Amino acid sequence: MIKPHGSDTLNPLYVADDAAREALAKEAESLPSIIISSAAAGNAVMLGGGYFNPLTGYMNRADALNVADNMHTTSGVFFPTPVLNMVEDPSPIEGAKRVALRDPNVEGHPVLAVMDVEAIEEFSDDDMNVIAEKVYRTTDMEHPGVAAFMSVGRFAISGPIQVLNYSYFEKDFPDTFRTAVQIRNEIEQRGWNKVVAFQTRNPMHLAHEELCHIAMDRIGADGLVIHMLLGKLKPGDIPADVRDAAIRKMVELYFPPNSVIISGYGFDMLYAGPREAVLHALFRQNMGATHFIIGRDHAGVGDYYGAFDAQTIFDEEVPEGALDIEIFRADHTAYSKKLNKVVMMCEAPDHTKEDFVLLSGTKVREMLGQGIAPPKEFSRPEVAKILMDYYQSLNS
């Protein structure tokens, strides 16, 4: 089985032993505490589940700047994005060496993790701009990832953490939320050797479905992991429960039995394009996938990134051997009227745009909202029905 990134075995930061976790929760009651940002809470969940292996906690200023600059910590660990716990006002924990981190996303702000504080450092405007420019390739506050990063405060609390729970994800998505540990175990139990992972924050239309089939066929994969982002998205994105239902229906009807693991992870979308593509690859390796599909404008937003920047970063900036997972490079996929099937557009050079069934996201949302199913060449009717019901519920 593919090794995790940076170590021989996965080292999740969730305290799995019941007695130890109970003792830690009791200790947390008497510790100074601070409510952290949603981004920092997502980082804690990912650290807890083993997705951010081999990190042991939140980065300090030097590591964050180094990672932004060249995708390595100061000690030489490859990592594509800073993993930070930024706050506006650290005074509630001033002088404390051990603190409780409270969850901003759950009522009552329960303790999410206990942290050994190694440093509290203030980031300058220049620090923030350098990180934004390197990670997001822009400092434009219209970019949702940049806006989120700039809004969480300037004080970085760094140090190792022990995670007590997975925030709201286990409770809200009991059938879908899975840690890297759980997915790795399931892959092992199924006896899969070659495993392809597909990332989504949207429902899967016919082109996405066929792309997964194409990748599985070409790689000779034993199985597919459809891995949904369950954290905060941008306004207008379809809620995770609706997306989950649509994907489950598609898999049930159009994939062979026992060939797909449907799962999700608790993390807020960064919309960081190429850097986020590398991060996505890293945590798919940690969960046991050997291959990862990256298509056009992966993890992008607006016009901030070139169509294939999320693929070329693996050639131009990721050092050879930094990751063991292999990238399956995909072009835009669409239904060909000439061939009567879904193809990657780059593999149909004799086609013009008119030879494909192409619909914009805006057009599809309009149709669904009016109770009109997109053509069967674009979306499976059973999937479209779930989405139509959702959009019409917004209008009622």
Beta bridge partners of 120: 157
384 token code pair:
């479209």
pLDDT (mean) for 192-209: 93
State yes or no: is 201 an active-site residue: yes
State yes or no: is 202 an active-site residue: yes
pLDDT tens readout for residues 214-238: 999 999 999 999 999 887 666 677 8
Residues of the chain with CATH 3.10.400.10: 18-170
Task: Tell me if residue 111 falls in helix, strand or coil.
Answer: strand
pLDDT at 140 over 90: yes
| Fold of the 175-395 domain | Rossmann fold (3.40.50)
CATH class of the domain defined by 18-170: alpha beta
Q: Which residue among 11, 202, 248, 329 is the active-site one?
A: 202
Which band of pLDDT confidence, cut at 50, 70 and 90, is reported for residue 184? very high
Which band of pLDDT confidence, cut at 50, 70 and 90, is reported for residue 20? very high
What is the per-residue pLDDT for 234?
65
Please report the DSSP string for 228-289 in residue order.
EE-S---TTSPPHHHHHHHHHHHHHHHS-TTSEEEEEE-------HHHHHHHHHHHHHHTT-
- Cβ–Cβ < 8 Å for 224, 251: no
pLDDT (mean) for 295-309: 93
Instruction: Specify the amino acid at residue 182.
Output: Q
pLDDT tens readout for residues 65-88: 999 999 999 999 999 999 999 999
Q: Which residue among 98, 201, 329, 365 is the active-site one?
A: 201
Residues of the chain with CATH 3.40.50.620: 175-395
Q: Look at the block and give the residue holding tokens 């797909």.
A: 260
